[in-house]
Structure 1
């Protein structure tokens, strides 16, 4: 707080200050003579920002001055430059901007939730400005004598307040002036920035910590639109209690106190009713922990009334002894909604949170050890009602409970940033970043658990046997699937690969996707279709905080795949939520992708962008015997594989990172059995690759021109390609794209660097390839027939490395 001798107060007798009279307004302030103001605003309001004064010669696109003297700005290389205050996070971001010899003003970005600036402007009726100001100060004289107060260039006032119970008011009026639009309330959530004295034209009247008030309404400030509905004078808790206490002096029980005459024959009954009512009033304020000064007044009313009613003091004492003050409450609730919320908050704040982002309530489930989401407020309404009953506040109608729920949202706003490094098991939490097990806690903000416990074992014979059967007994492909499950659990999106499972119905594709989902949890898995992912603009938003994206049954889609490429390439995608105003929001998904289909996908993608990220594994072993391996039920999973989930997790995570990288990032160089699969997939999914496989041969020193569609199909590449597409029912790519796509196919996908694209006087041509003829039957096909990996000793060493199975558990320590 600012010290007394640092204050600058120009109201009545000036206080002692170490500011000069010139500090009231400054034409050319610098960071040196601004320092005391900068420190004050940082401590009490927010982040000080420079403001370039009004510049009439610099216009915007609409022909109006771009720099009006009311927006954050500074001089960059001598030229005024805007500052976007929403991007300023600390004073250090803008401190250097104050170091200038040019004229500069000062403003503040409001960062405190409780600071509300009453901007008294009265644009429609300037003559009432002072009357309005004095009217507000009648409610709280400290606003005139203390706090932070400024006079604006237009003759208005900036009145800074610290509000205990804020409500949403932007355009306001003042009681007694309801027909006028007085001005605006500037706060963190409305405008968020204000120009301050000692800027040019602004006069500093008082400079101290903003005055604390209960609410804006308590000083007569009310919403302009609702002003015609509000007639009663503003009231605080003290006002209400004074009036209610006064009613016992002047109203219902006045005759008891003043005359000692009972309205009914039983004076004891009258006196008992008075005592219980007054005890109810006192109990109310005991709960609210305020108005202690009225407790003695209540006792005085009781004793003086008792003395008037009864000559025998012992009779008064007997009646009082028969009344338990703790049991005295109003039959009807007499607390405001704000007071009810103040009582509720300590009861619910530890197990109830509200997420503003998804507009859901979260209740901590102590049995399952996570914050459970509630799509509607019915459960919260029930909790509030039960808590109010336990607090014995009297009868509370449904309308008040709804208001309490609404007010509690603002008190309990919490951001649920899911930490994907934490895997919540039923009995503990695994921190994947360091392989440590930690205890459950509400502070971890977990919103799910995976439904199985931790196990130090990694023996999962049923799962391993089923995986081996599904891939036709090829052990190294089991290791690839194990490595990819490791990537899903640990979030190795930087490897930029995805697995495409291809196989007929009943071959086990969906069983593997269920296994992957159960391993990491349904809450961090999103299931979609390829067409929906690409064409529904809201679909990519569902990938936020997900570890796995499942794309099922995508055989029929043949459109663009820009979103799939961005997701698997660790790039951003649009982030758009239904029913919310959108900006240029982007999301970089943190999920691995798993695609299943009965047949290879024929997509409009000929470049290596997707092909080099895809690992195709064929599930061709159709199981004849129907088995319940893993199926979803209401509260989890059931099946033979479910009981092994704890061991599968340990088995998956025990694979060394070096091995995971070799299997997933460098699959073609390390997994021999998948090389031919990848080549087969390439020809199945790319008409260009299929044409090359059958119609083009690799011959050293050969030369083939691209040509155009009209030339000889036996000599020119493009005309031969177009003929193939026409006969096969495919759409040919344009001649402009053809040569670049063909070069990408040979060099990036087929890894044939000696096939080059060149140009001479005749046109573009490719080296070391030509059109296949009838005499080339002994030359292998170009895609499927030429092996990428020779069967050498080093290859066999790579293969044996893949089959090494570490015996140690990552949790042995």
Structure 2
């Protein structure tokens, strides 16, 4: 709210000035007179000409601006024009009349929720307040010495680009703009050593606070801050986001573990980590007996199945997406598959996990963006359904994924984490492509626990996560590769695969029910292999 020539505003007639013919018509509909510029002209010449006409009529111009940056800019133009002519002018902030007014709202929006009598009352209150404010400001200005006024004039508001360059130099290691995702990143905003996504609005608030610290004020429009942020984006642009691989460096809350040497290095913004394990690295932790006992029970004491589950946990921890494998735990309720999945979540940290469904993943075009920079994607308690699995195969096969967020440009990325699925029954058996059968690690969970003996094991596992982590990191990468690629046959997994196949494949079901394999049988294919006139003749 601002006013000029407040003393002259006491006895003169008030004339309400609004933005746009729609606002004038709305005022007239409730018997309130108002004016606007002819043809929507807001040039300086047009406003000065209008001010001259109104001055001759001995009126006070009351400008009720719109609630946006454009409205504020026009208000400044109106004030400047009236000042040049000497026309008393009062600018009213519409939010002062109706605090609930939305951004870009105007008098039309106000009169939708307020009758004309209440509107006039609040408008008059704001006019009187503006007049009083103007008097006080004029009195204060008159009281200031000439020396103080000259000092104020000498203080110039620095250009937005210069301020942005200074801020960029100061925050270069703590603020960056990710060109791939079109998003701001701030270092250690939430976790030590981690870059987190920030909204444009929050970055503007940071700049606003910096301006207060630098005692830069009086810049008027919010566009000054917006221009600083735009220049900052240019100064701090990162064309690619080259994050260190978890195969090399594993981030903890107290440092970064170098896997090759076992050294704990200090955090550095140069690692570009967007995630970290939310626990310290305890090299002395060795007891993970409760987790070991659970894995033994869940696999029925089968050492091969147990090793697969342990190696998959290693793959989740260090990001072995190069294996192009995903885990599918299959079993009845209470068999431990959910406990194992939650163990994986606790191991890598809930903030580094995305929970989805096959229906969403395969059918929702915005879902893939949620997996960006996550370490584990879990699909809980899935059911069989008729769905196209192409996007799921791309997720687990190291292919490029298209990510799309509302209001932002789409981008592509390769998921470098792991995927785990749980269900009561096989849900992928209907897909007979080699791509699916090559990627799946189907683990049967058949060791049920009666309801009376079930408890929250994951709560008991928490103190042993550090020791379990140390054990997982001690497993050679070559062994993890051998186990998860299935280089050693596991009869229980073969049986699980075959059971799932005969559920959905009629030919497999017929073979299983009607054909008996004779291991000693042989069928001759001919004895003329040396005849050059035959297909395979030499």
TM-score between both structures, scaled by the size of structure 1: 0.42
Q: Corresponding residue for 1:423?
A: 250
Q: Deviation at 1:379?
A: 3.4
Matches of 2:420 and 2:462, distance apart in 1: 20
Matches of 2:312 and 2:257, distance apart in 1: 19
Q: What are the ranges of 5 or more consecutive residues in structure 1 without an aligned counterpart? A: 1-228, 233-268, 285-333, 631-638, 704-753, 756-813
Structure 1 position 610 matched with structure 2 position 436: yes
Deviations along 1:128-149, one digit per CA (max 9) or x if unpaired, are: xxxxxxxxxxxxxxxxxxxxxx
Deviations along 1:286-305, one digit per CA (max 9) or x if unpaired, are: xxxxxxxxxxxxxxxxxxxx
Give runs of aligned pairs for residues 285-300 of structure 1, distance below 5 A. Answer: none
Matches of 1:491 and 1:386, distance apart in 2: 39
Does the CA-based 8 Å contact 1:529-1:552 persist in structure 2?
yes
Matches of 2:435 and 2:158, distance apart in 1: 65
Q: Corresponding residue for 2:502?
A: 683
**Structure 2 counterpart of 1:405, from 225, 229, 234:** 229
Do the aligned partners of residues 429 and 278 (structure 1) sit closer, same or farther apart at CA in structure 2, a change above 3 Å counting? same
Matches of 2:292 and 2:190, distance apart in 1: 33
Deviations along 1:443-486, one digit per CA (max 9) or x if unpaired, are: 22222321111122332112111222222233332211011111
Q: Which has the higher contact order (CA 8 A, sep 6+)?
A: 2
SS in 2 for 1:570: coil
Do the aligned partners of residues 558 and 367 (structure 1) sit closer, same or farther apart at CA in structure 2, a change above 3 Å counting? closer
Give runs of aligned pairs for residues 641-652 of structure 1, distance below 5 A. Answer: 641-652=461-472
Does the CA-based 8 Å contact 2:430-2:504 persist in structure 1?
no
Q: What are the ranges of 5 or more consecutive residues in structure 2 without an aligned counterpart? A: 1-73, 78-140, 526-538
Q: Deviation at 1:581?
A: 5.5
Matches of 1:678 and 1:367, distance apart in 2: 43
Q: Corresponding residue for 2:392?
A: 564
Do the aligned partners of residues 684 and 615 (structure 1) sit closer, same or farther apart at CA in structure 2, a change above 3 Å counting? farther
Does the CA-based 8 Å contact 1:381-1:402 persist in structure 2?
yes
Residues paired across the two proteins, number? 379
Q: Deviation at 1:501?
A: 0.2
Q: Return the structure number with greater helix share.
A: 2
Q: Deviation at 1:427?
A: 0.6
Tell which structure's C-alpha radius of gyration is larger: 1
Deviations along 1:761-794, one digit per CA (max 9) or x if unpaired, are: xxxxxxxxxxxxxxxxxxxxxxxxxxxxxxxxxx
**Structure 2 counterpart of 1:499, from 319, 327, 334:** 327
Structure 1 position 599 matched with structure 2 position 394: no
**Structure 2 counterpart of 1:466, from 294, 303, 327:** 294
Deviates more, 1:686-695 or 1:618-627: 618-627
SS in 2 for 1:594: strand
Q: Deviation at 1:402?
A: 3.9
Do the aligned partners of residues 538 and 432 (structure 1) sit closer, same or farther apart at CA in structure 2, a change above 3 Å counting? farther
Do the aligned partners of residues 419 and 677 (structure 1) sit closer, same or farther apart at CA in structure 2, a change above 3 Å counting? same
Do the aligned partners of residues 494 and 357 (structure 1) sit closer, same or farther apart at CA in structure 2, a change above 3 Å counting? closer
Matches of 2:327 and 2:205, distance apart in 1: 46
Matches of 1:277 and 1:497, distance apart in 2: 73
Matches of 1:602 and 1:665, distance apart in 2: 18
Matches of 1:536 and 1:697, distance apart in 2: 45
Matches of 2:327 and 2:425, distance apart in 1: 14
Q: Deviation at 1:685?
A: 4.7
Matches of 1:274 and 1:343, distance apart in 2: 33
Do the aligned partners of residues 670 and 580 (structure 1) sit closer, same or farther apart at CA in structure 2, a change above 3 Å counting? same
Does the CA-based 8 Å contact 1:344-1:388 persist in structure 2?
no
TM-score between both structures, scaled by the size of structure 2: 0.62
Matches of 2:218 and 2:337, distance apart in 1: 58
Do the aligned partners of residues 504 and 351 (structure 1) sit closer, same or farther apart at CA in structure 2, a change above 3 Å counting? same
Give runs of aligned pairs for residues 390-789 of structure 1, distance below 5 A. Answer: 390-397=213-220, 399=222, 400-414=224-238, 415-421=240-246, 422-432=249-259, 435-456=262-283, 457-580=285-408, 587-601=413-427, 603-623=429-449, 624=451, 625-630=453-458, 639-666=459-486, 669-699=488-518
Matches of 1:366 and 1:609, distance apart in 2: 41
